[in-house]
Amino acid sequence: MDKLIKIFIALSDEISIRIVKLLIKKMCTIFEISEIMSKDEDYIKERLDKLMNVGIVSKINDGKYEVYFVKNTGSIFDKFAKDIVKLLSGYFNSDKVILDDYQKARSINRDELFKRRNPQ
C-alpha cells in the first residue's frame, strides 16, 4: 500500500502527469521538458526525481545528454507503476495542453535548444 501511495503522490500535480504523458511519446532531456512546459529546470528535476523514485521514469546517458523516458520493461519495473502508466497512456489524449506538449516536442531540436540555453 505504501508504494501505491508514493506513486499517487508523485503524480499528484498537473506537471508530473504532463511529464509522464510526454515521456510515453518521446525521450527528453530536462531542458527540453523545461522548454515545452515553460517551467524552470529545477522544478522539472524535482518532479522527475519523484517519478524516478517510484519507478515510473528512468534516465540514460545517450553519449551527449541525459535523457528521460517512461520505463515499460524489466524485472525491476514495479507492477503498480506499470499499471498506472498503462492507465495514463489511455487518458488525456485529446487534452489541449497535452496535445500542445506533443506538438512542441516534435518541433524541438535538442542540439539547437541546448546551444541557445548554454551560450559559449
How many separate domains does the chain show?
1
Which residues form the domain of 38?
Answer: 2-117
Question: Any idea what the CATH number is for the domain that residue 16 is in?
Answer: 1.10.10.10
Q: How far apart are the first and last CA of the chain?
A: 49
- And the C-alpha cell for 78? 514495479
What is the chain's pLDDT, residue by residue, as a tens digit (120 residues)?
677 888 889 999 999 999 999 999 999 999 999 999 999 999 999 999 999 998 899 999 989 999 999 976 544 446 777 777 777 777 777 788 988 898 999 998 988 988 888 877
Closest CA to 34 of 94, 119, 103, 117: 117
pTM of the model: 0.84
Work out whether the CA dihedral 14, 34, 65, 101 comes out positive or negative.
Answer: positive
